[in-house]
Structure 1
Amino acid sequence: MSKMKKTKVRMYSRVGIHVPNKNNIEEYSIRELFDMFLADKSIEGLSERTLHDYNVHFDYLMGFLGEEITNNQFSKELFKSYIAYMLHEKGLSPVTANVRIRTVRAFLRYCYLNDYIVEPIHEYFKPVKTKEDTLESFTSDEIKKLLSVVDDKSYKGFRDKLIIYLLLDTLVRCSELVGMKRKNVDLKAGFITLESEGTKTKKARTVPVSIRTTKLLKEYLAITEEYETEFLLLTYEGEPLSDNTVRKNLAEIGSKAGVKKRVSPHTFRHTGALFYILNGGDPFSLQKILGHTDMSMVRKYIQMTNTDVKKQHNLFSPLNMVFK
């Protein structure tokens, strides 16, 4: 790998800073190191989408730096300046900044653990504190509005209706949705198996499907039987549906229905999780369906409004056990 001449780095204050050369480590450019980091993550089995996002976040970092630097110029001051740049100069929200920070932290941790830098900068380059996120979800009426503008007499409309049912019913991520395969749909048992390579956690899981969705699935499978493909959701030409197409179609449905909230696969996932709990489901089975290993993520998904809490309290008040 090519050796690089040391350069001065543009800080958030726009004042160059010179970090002393550390003679005990070999010198690499930041881009060379990031390529090695990506190769390592690819071997770990990260999805193509995640690797793509890592590249995008690295480009944002390079936009701040303005030029190539070497590992001998890495410092906690430099990377903390990047946080200030994102928040104060670019005006990014803490939530958006934290998405980029997590990628850079993972990269810096990789560099430290592999002895490309001598200081654990990732321990100082931490996500910024944010207010407790309130994840947006739909009301029942908003879902009915969305379905009302879908023309299920056409192939595209019927497929989009099925997609909405699947997102709400199975709580899958968009990448998991488009990765579903025909052979893994068990209509009789009411389950769909998600293969390990198609899930975020790289672990296979089985998601239950309600009777309503099963009926739509049965009809859709019959309609698309002539296509020789293993994937479940297809374009009109019989090609596997992409996640970008799903997002675009849902956004168009939301605009047509006049729903002001963000109509996306993730919003359906939040909504389905909340409705599951409001309907009496328990958080432990919900965790299994969502595919989360950490219950803290489940808690984020089921944030309730005061109205939701009031409804639940009316149903499950301890006094109900006294005055049956």
Structure 2
Amino acid sequence: MFSTTWQDAFDEFLLVKQAEGRSPRTLKDYRRHVPAFFQEHPNTWPDVPALKRAVAAHFAAFHDKSATYYNLRREYLKAFFAWCVEEEYLPMNPVKGIPKRKNDGTPRNLDADTLKRLLELPDCTTYAGLRDLALMLLQLDTGIRPGEALALLPAHVNLTALEVTIPSTTAKTRTARTVVMSPQTAKAIRKLLTCRPEDWTGDVPVFASTSGRKMDAIHWGHRLAAYGQQLGTRITPYMLRHTSAILFLRGGGHVFALQRQMGHASLTMTKRYVHLAESDLHEQHAVASPVGQILPQHTRARKVGRG
């Protein structure tokens, strides 16, 4: 008699992943995506044909989701079911045969006018407003991932050196790195830190909630979405990261410096930003054409009759 429930298998799976050294963010994503499937299809385990039908229906209903979200849910479910096959809880993986959705990988960025208006919205007479502005500036200045930024402690910020250290325990790639910020961003963070209650210790994150708790990326996403509604446009935490990369390259930054700043394990993702940054090449060339600077185009002479 089959006695292991999907919940039992999932709890064991999480322990294994934790023992493998998976990041807290990855474990949190597993807890979000896998149970979400079984909440919709609770009576399918361990019937593989039923699971296969449920998986197909589950992803068919994702037509309004982005390719990134679709592929992420598929990745986590597939990994869990693959482990179940290895442990002989299931005879086959029900996600097998469900293809990834094509993602053009084009980063979504914000234009300069939207950015300027966005930075004017936070109410800096409140702690929440100071925090939001400082976090916006840090993401725009460094391209730091939202999860990495929200895990920063005061000890990770060196305002004098204009540096922020992202420890390996919170970095997505599990590799520590140091990012550089501007004096303007350092000033905003310094102001935020001086407004912290005296009883907040060093283990309270830099960008904490008003109660001193760690904010998560979902909460930060809701904050930005609310600001976006005021502007009549969509704004997400990762749009700030994408915008940072594109503006860095358009400002003359080196691609290898961008790779280090963004924390990319390889140049594959960085090159996507390069492609987008070069998409306005005609516009930039019209402004900065070397020949145009040497031989400026004169106003065309009016046509006159022969003398």
Q: TM-score, normalised by structure 2?
A: 0.79
Report the equivalent of 1:251.
Answer: 225
1:108 equivalent to 2:84? Answer no
CA 1:91–1:164 in 2, change beyond 3 Å: closer, same or farther?
Answer: closer
CA 1:157–1:115 in 2, change beyond 3 Å: closer, same or farther?
Answer: same
Identity %, equivalent residues: 27
Return 113-122 or 86-95, whichever deviates more. 113-122
Pairing partner for 2:2 from 1, 4, 7: 4
1:99 equivalent to 2:72? Answer yes
Pairing partner for 1:214 from 169, 186, 194: 186
1:51 equivalent to 2:27? Answer yes
Pairing partner for 1:285 from 239, 257, 260: 257
CA 1:172–1:320 in 2, change beyond 3 Å: closer, same or farther?
Answer: same
Verify the 8 A CA contact 2:246 2:277 in the aligned structure 1: no
Q: 1:127-151: CA deviations, max 9, x gaps?
A: 4342514332111100111122223
CA 1:152–1:114 in 2, change beyond 3 Å: closer, same or farther?
Answer: same
Measured in 2, the distance between the counterparts of 1:203 and 1:189 equals 21
- Give the counterpart letter for 1:105 in structure 2: K
Verify the 8 A CA contact 1:101 1:125 in the aligned structure 2: no
Return 161-170 or 109-118, whichever deviates more. 109-118
- Give the counterpart letter for 2:32 in structure 1: V
Measured in 1, the distance between the counterparts of 2:103 and 2:222 equals 29
* Mapping of residues 279-318 of structure 1, within 5 Å: 279-302=251-274, 304=276, 308-314=280-286
Report the equivalent of 1:62.
Answer: 38
Return 208-217 or 87-96, whichever deviates more. 87-96
CA 1:131–1:223 in 2, change beyond 3 Å: closer, same or farther?
Answer: closer
Equivalences, count: 292
Measured in 2, the distance between the counterparts of 1:117 and 1:320 equals 68
CA 1:321–1:31 in 2, change beyond 3 Å: closer, same or farther?
Answer: farther
Report the equivalent of 2:16.
Answer: 40
Report the alpha carbon displacement of residue 166 of structure 1 after superposing the two structures with TM.
Answer: 0.8
Verify the 8 A CA contact 1:274 1:303 in the aligned structure 2: no
Verify the 8 A CA contact 1:207 1:289 in the aligned structure 2: yes
Report the alpha carbon displacement of residue 217 of structure 1 after superposing the two structures with TM.
Answer: 2.4
* Mapping of residues 80-159 of structure 1, within 5 Å: 81-82=53-54, 84-89=56-61, 91-93=63-65, 95=67, 96-114=69-87, 124-159=96-131
Verify the 8 A CA contact 1:105 1:125 in the aligned structure 2: no
Verify the 8 A CA contact 2:165 2:177 in the aligned structure 1: yes
Measured in 1, the distance between the counterparts of 2:39 and 2:208 equals 38
1:269 equivalent to 2:241? Answer yes
Verify the 8 A CA contact 1:29 1:68 in the aligned structure 2: no
Q: Which runs of 5+ in 1 are unaligned?
A: 6-27
Tell me the secondary structure at the aligned position of residue 180 of structure 1. coil
CA 1:155–1:120 in 2, change beyond 3 Å: closer, same or farther?
Answer: closer
Tell me the secondary structure at the aligned position of residue 128 of structure 1. coil
CA 1:207–1:90 in 2, change beyond 3 Å: closer, same or farther?
Answer: closer
Report the alpha carbon displacement of residue 93 of structure 1 after superposing the two structures with TM.
Answer: 4.0
Measured in 2, the distance between the counterparts of 1:46 and 1:264 equals 25
Report the alpha carbon displacement of residue 120 of structure 1 after superposing the two structures with TM.
Answer: 7.0
Tell me the secondary structure at the aligned position of residue 271 of structure 1. helix
Report the equivalent of 1:170.
Answer: 142
Q: Which runs of 5+ in 2 are unaligned?
A: 296-307
